[in-house]
């Protein structure tokens, strides 16, 4: 089964934390208020919440792809 790879483009992240609000089981902020991902990949049933996090990220710093 295909899984979803989630990446945060650290040079774009501005620390809004919308991703953390949307998907707290996936995202967190590091000590510099830059988003980090908890795991390397996620199951397909997380696609909806991950796509919402992508849409809610003003600087478009989150990339979700099939792995």
What domains are there in the chain, each with its CATH number? 4-66 (3.30.70.20)
pTM, to two decimals:
0.93
Average pLDDT for 22-47? 97
Two tokens, residue 34: 């830059």
Q: How many helices (H) and strands (E) does the chain have?
A: 2, 5
Instruction: Tell me the per-residue pLDDT of 1-29, one tens digit each, with 9 for 90 and over.
Output: 799 999 999 999 999 999 999 999 999 99
- Fill in the DSSP letter of residue 46: G
């Amino acid at each position: 089964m295909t899984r979803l790879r989630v990446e945060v483009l650290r040079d774009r992240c501005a620390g809004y934390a919308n991703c953390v609000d949307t998907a707290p089981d996936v995202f967190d902020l590091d000590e510099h208020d830059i988003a980090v991902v908890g795991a390397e990949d996620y199951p397909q049933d997380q696609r909806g919440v991950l796509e919402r996090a992508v849409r809610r990220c003003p600087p478009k710093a989150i990339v979700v792809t099939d792995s």
